[in-house]
Amino acid sequence: MNVRPYKPEDTATHARLFTETVHSSTQLTIRGNNLRLGSRSSRHGTLAQAFQRADCFVAEHDSEIVGFATLEPDGHLDYIYAHRRFQRQGVASALFQRIEQEAISRGVARIFAEASTTARPFFEHVGFRMIASQRIKHRGISFINFRMEKFVS
């Protein structure tokens, strides 16, 4: 598997991967309004905007994008996704390793995220600790997620 920086032409593949992964997971991780499963074009727009604000990396397997992750300048890890067909195969771990290197090279000491119940074991696996749980509401649906952090150096 190869992890490389995102290129603008990856957006369409990202949007498909993102939607497929989110639809197949039991809980969504939502921070603010960044997760919107609207029309295809609005999804592209939202993701493209998110990727402009952040360092984004993609994981490729046989030239296919199988995951992606973003790191914002303040250390917020907003997105980390592995395609449903490639879960538990180390995709997110490889992406996180790259994100961690990037944070260190940028002098970002703390990476933080909001993890869903299903994603929490992954974050713990790569060394995050839970700060707090929180209940959030999105489109009338209530979710629990976990504020997690990892100090890197």
Site for ligand COA in 55-114 (CB under 6 A): 79-82, 87-93
Instruction: Taking each helix axis as running N to C, give the angle between helix 11-24 and helix 40-53, from 0 to 180 degrees, rounded to the nearest 10.
Output: 110
Q: Which among 86, 147, 143 is positioned nearest to 111, based on CA atoms?
A: 147
Burial group, residue 105, by CB count within 10 angstroms (0-12, 13-18, 19+): exposed
What's the Rg (C-alpha) of the chain? 14
In whole angstroms, the minimum distance from the beta carbon of 136 to ligand COA comes to: 13
Site for ligand COA in 37-56 (CB under 6 A): none
DSSP 9: G
30 binds ligand COA (CB under 6 A): no
In whole angstroms, the minimum distance from the beta carbon of 90 to ligand COA comes to: 5
Among 21, 30, 108, 148, binds ligand COA (CB under 6 A): 21
Residues forming contacts to ligand COA in the complex (CB under 6 A) are 21, 25, 29, 79-82, 87-93, 115-116, 118-119, 121-122, 125
